[in-house]
Structure 1
């Protein structure tokens, strides 16, 4: 069995869907987060930096309006070498909570990214507590022309861990958001993190069981890494948090893949920690180590996606 065939890889899924290679354009939509602005909490999740999940997005613009700021990012992408590597693209709103605004502003922002006919999909990263009926109706309005998916950060199904990491929503709220998106036939991609504080292998098992009990189309897996200027960094420096080893991460990722629903598309198996902010673990900055290590682990243990799925 070829390594790529051991799990349902996003790249192959997109190529099958669109007939050719399809790449993401990562967009900063100028959003905030209710977990940072005081609506729910201040400071965000303990692992989240001031840049949010799009730590790697670094774009400067002289635009005076948010719509121009967004469209400038797309135009800038198409003037770089990256645009030469594919003919089809995904407008990916990644940074912070990309449904945390009025419906009119959301439409303005999304439309500002969909300015090129090479863009064939719209991906929105957000929180389960920032999904409602009106937002689903707006997202559904794009589905005739674009493939649309929504990314929801679960991280873990353990609500005690959720409180510890200051997630700000419950697993029940996650389930409610998934059900609502399912109602509108909008694909759901969820994030889980391995190595969260106080979590054990048992918690990972429970999280996978939880995901398998939902109608979810995509999964992102990555290690919990420590970046500067976060609560987790303070915990690391004072000795109350220890990052996991690469070996343990590979073992956990192997378990996740072999027990997850085989129909779920695997969007990623490693996180992109910003090298200028990464504190630990060191191995997380070496994506090839992780990818090659996981390929070898799956091969050596004869594992593939859904092998033990019930």
Structure 2
């Protein structure tokens, strides 16, 4: 646990060029030598937290219309195929200058929750749909990655395709996972990271800030924990109160209050400072239309939030990893003097400051 798939030399180059955090898109351009775009694909996968496998209630923040996705819908989509959809979208993104090559993003639902033979059918069609598809990224739950699925993903990775797993962890704290009815813990993510890395597959984790009952320290601890685990990338979102959810009922009853705009901006800046500088940042907010949410009232679109986070880091004179620390440094492994610990500590700080200058 702890070793990433991310190429740290590319990340160091980004910081050398003045970036304040390790942006995923810029990293991909360095890794490939060209700009890479994502092609979204909705194969109507079902979720075990809705269909009764784990629960019939879903996560507290997930709208109940997700329950309309059934295995019958899923099979109909697969039987119909989606090659033309992928081809059309790849050509569209290329025509508007989004990039040269594409990764198909299999999103919406739990996209490994299906028989392995069906997953193979989907992935075979995905990578063969267009010559400019260089691989795929699959969104799923950390508890829906059995050995057979991991081995299947590993086959595509071994064949030269770029493969990412995006695991919706949301938080590392058990009391929050229980409150949100996630039906999994942290152990599942630890295993997912290790098993993906064993197959040279990078793993991204979704993290939500502003969960009910989570303190600032707990949110920062999530940054430290996923850093120590070797998570390769993150998408950071504010907790959005979607209509027709358990969370909406909590919000309406006054037991949950959503984050304010600058409160969230400051939280993201804090989170980045506590995160390892080598965890790639794919998103800093959630694109969500005002018509489908109750709160927050401010616009959560990333194109609005991201510049403000960069500005906040600039004002502070900080960057991703500024406060990331998991152990004492070697030069700190000196027991403080018993007689004058305060003076000793000040002298030690002065020595370190001189050394860093």
TM-score by length of 1: 0.91
- Is the Cα–Cα contact under 8 Å of residues 262 and 305 in structure 1 kept in the other structure? yes
- Is the Cα–Cα contact under 8 Å of residues 67 and 109 in structure 1 kept in the other structure? no
Alpha-carbon shift at residue 223 of structure 1 (Å): 0.4
Q: Distance in 1 between matches of 2:306 and 2:38?
A: 19
Report the counterpart of residue 43 of structure 2 in structure 1: 29
Match of 1:238 among 229, 253, 262: 253
- Is the Cα–Cα contact under 8 Å of residues 31 and 95 in structure 1 kept in the other structure? yes
- Is the Cα–Cα contact under 8 Å of residues 110 and 140 in structure 2 kept in the other structure? yes
Match of 1:99 among 112, 120, 136: 112
Report the counterpart of residue 354 of structure 2 in structure 1: none
1:268 paired with 2:283, answer yes
Deviation sequence 1:105-143 (CA, Å, 0-9, x none): 001111222211111121011111101211111001111
1:291 paired with 2:302, answer no
Report the counterpart of residue 68 of structure 1 in structure 2: 80
Deviation sequence 1:162-196 (CA, Å, 0-9, x none): 01001110111221222211221210101110011
- Is the Cα–Cα contact under 8 Å of residues 42 and 107 in structure 2 kept in the other structure? yes
Q: Distance in 1 between matches of 2:79 and 2:160?
A: 20
Deviation sequence 1:270-291 (CA, Å, 0-9, x none): 1111333122112234433311
Match of 2:228 among 197, 213, 230: 213
Distance 1:51 1:90, change over 3 A: farther
Q: Find the structure with the greater CA-based Rg.
A: 2
1:181 paired with 2:196, answer yes
**178-187 vs 160-169, which deviates more?**
178-187
Report the counterpart of residue 138 of structure 1 in structure 2: 152
Task: Say which structure is richer in helix.
Answer: 2
User: Is the partner of 1:213 in helix, strand or coil?
Assistant: helix
Structure 1 unaligned regions, length at least 5:
53-60
1:7 paired with 2:29, answer no
Match of 1:45 among 42, 59, 79: 59
Q: Distance in 2 between matches of 1:285 and 1:3?
A: 28
User: Is the partner of 1:152 in helix, strand or coil?
Assistant: strand
Match of 1:87 among 91, 97, 100: 100
Q: Distance in 1 between matches of 2:18 and 2:58?
A: 35
- Is the Cα–Cα contact under 8 Å of residues 285 and 300 in structure 2 kept in the other structure? no
Q: Distance in 2 between matches of 1:241 and 1:234?
A: 9
Q: Distance in 1 between matches of 2:167 and 2:268?
A: 19
Deviation sequence 1:246-266 (CA, Å, 0-9, x none): 111111111111121111111
Deviation sequence 1:194-248 (CA, Å, 0-9, x none): 0111111021022112112202111111100111111111211221211011111
Alpha-carbon shift at residue 64 of structure 1 (Å): 5.1
**135-144 vs 173-182, which deviates more?**
173-182
1:201 paired with 2:216, answer yes
- Is the Cα–Cα contact under 8 Å of residues 164 and 203 in structure 2 kept in the other structure? yes
Alpha-carbon shift at residue 71 of structure 1 (Å): 2.3
Q: Distance in 1 between matches of 2:266 and 2:245?
A: 27
Report the counterpart of residue 258 of structure 1 in structure 2: 273
Match of 2:207 among 178, 181, 192: 192
Q: Distance in 2 between matches of 1:297 and 1:189?
A: 24
Instruction: Give RMSD over aligned pairs.
Output: 2.1
Q: Distance in 2 between matches of 1:6 and 1:67?
A: 46
- Is the Cα–Cα contact under 8 Å of residues 94 and 100 in structure 2 kept in the other structure? no
